[in-house]
Every structure is written in C-alpha cells, then in structure tokens.
Amino acid sequence: MAGTTDVVTRPFTAVAGAVQRLPWWVGPITVTAVLTGFGIYTMIMVLFFARGEYENYLSPFYSPPVGTPSWLPDFLSPAVLVLWLPLGFRATCYYYRKAYYRAFFWDPPGCASKAQQREPRSAENYRGERNLFVWNNIHRYFMYGSFVLLAFLTVDTVRAFLPEGSFGVTLGSLIFLVNVTLLWIYSLSCHSLRHII
C-alpha cells in the first residue's frame, strides 16, 4: 500500500521541490504581474465598454445595473459607479495588503529571503501603519458594501441558469456559479467579520 501512495504523491512532491528552488523574488514579481494585468484589464473594461450584458448574462463589473446618469462623462461606463466598492474591499484587505506590500513596495520582500536577513524586522523597529496606510482600517466598511454587491451577483447567477424563463446549464452559467461561490467564500472568510460579533 505504501508504494501506491508514493506513486500518487511523487508528482506533487516534485512540483513543490521545484517551486522551493525558485529565487525568492519570483513570488512578488508574479503577484505584481497578475495584479497589474488585472488592473489594466479592469480599466479597459470600464473605459471602453459601455454595456456589460450579453443575452441573459450581466458582467460582474456592471452588477448591479445602475443605468447611466446624465452627469457621468461619456468616456466612462456605469461600471465606475460600482467598481469602487470591490476595489476598496480588496485594496484594504489584510491578505491583499501582504501581497501588495511585498510585490509593489518590497517591504518585506519575503520573510525567508536573504534581503530580509540583511535587514531583519523586529518589534523594536516596527512603526505601525502611518500616513495614508491608516486608511486600510476602513476595510470592514467596504466589506459590508461588498456583501450587498455579492447579493446582486448571486441573483445574476440564478438568472444565468434561467435563460428565457426555463432552467438551463451552460458554460456561462457554470462560470458565474464558480465566480460567485469563490467570491462568497473569500468574503465570508474575511477576519473583519469579527467586528459584527
């Protein structure tokens, strides 16, 4: 029986070993590339696509559908009226904070890296969050608003399974289901929920 377990775990062990041998800076560079790429994609969606609807699907960028107010400049889509909330939720998130501190500010670049060993962090030289970073503490308020948006996304997901009034499963509806499920898991695992209790 031990031989079967070895055969199954061997590929995962090999991948884990390969990842551990990568230079310490690969992780922060990867996070920088992914977050920057997603930011560019989001800006393109907001600036160049006025509608986020296709058949019975509504893009999460445009949910809830708020219409186009007359005061909104023509070059902006109504998505800007919605996107500030999830952006604020993620930008102030404690998990994302670790990711972007390391990726964009290289502070600290990685706890086990040689750069960290040359300039160790300790309780004595920790100065806390100051200046603009104190605004990260409004995270829990963005969380409440994000729950409202998640309710709308859940309704959009149900609608994706009901094309033309009857139940139907499509690739789009499954993508919506995976998206909203992962977003609910992410949001409900937020440690800011302790402020509700």
Give the pLDDT of residue 129: 66
* Percentage of residues in the chain having pLDDT higher than 70: 80
Q: What is the pLDDT of residues 177-197, one digit of tens each?
A: 999 999 999 899 888 887 776
Give the pLDDT of residue 154: 95
pLDDT band of residue 163 (cuts 50, 70, 90) is: confident
| DSSP string covering 94-140 | HHHHHHHIIIII-SSS-TTSHHHHHS---STT---S-GGGGGGGGHH
On whether the CB atoms of residues 92 and 138 are closer than 8 A, the answer is yes
Neighbours of 82 (CB within 10 A): 21
Q: What is the 3-state secondary structure (H, E, C) of 28-79?
A: HHHHHHHHHHHHHHHHHHHHHCCCCEECCEECHHHCCCCCCCCCCCCCCCCC
Give the pLDDT of residue 33: 93
Rounded to whole angstroms, how far apart are CA atoms 119 and 121? 7
Range of lowest pLDDT (36-40, 44-48, 130-134, 177-181)? 130-134
Give the pLDDT of residue 93: 83
Cα 21-25-29 angle, rounded to 5 deg = 120
Q: What is the pLDDT of residues 97-129, one digit of tens each?
A: 778 777 887 776 665 555 555 555 665 655 666
Q: In the predicted model, is pLDDT for residue 158 greater than 90?
A: yes
Angle between helices 139-160 and 80-91 (to 10 degrees): 130
Q: In the predicted model, is pLDDT for residue 3 greater than 60?
A: no
Residue type, 105: F
Cβ-count burial 20-43 (b if 16+ within 10 Å, e if not): eeeeeeebbeebbeebeeeeeeee
Rounded to whole angstroms, how far apart are CA atoms 30 and 37? 10
Average pLDDT in the chain = 79
Higher pLDDT, 185 or 132: 185
Rounded to whole angstroms, how far apart are CA atoms 110 and 75? 41
Burial class (CB in 10 A: 0-12, 13-18, 19+), 71: exposed
Per the confidence metrics, is the pTM higher than 0.75? no
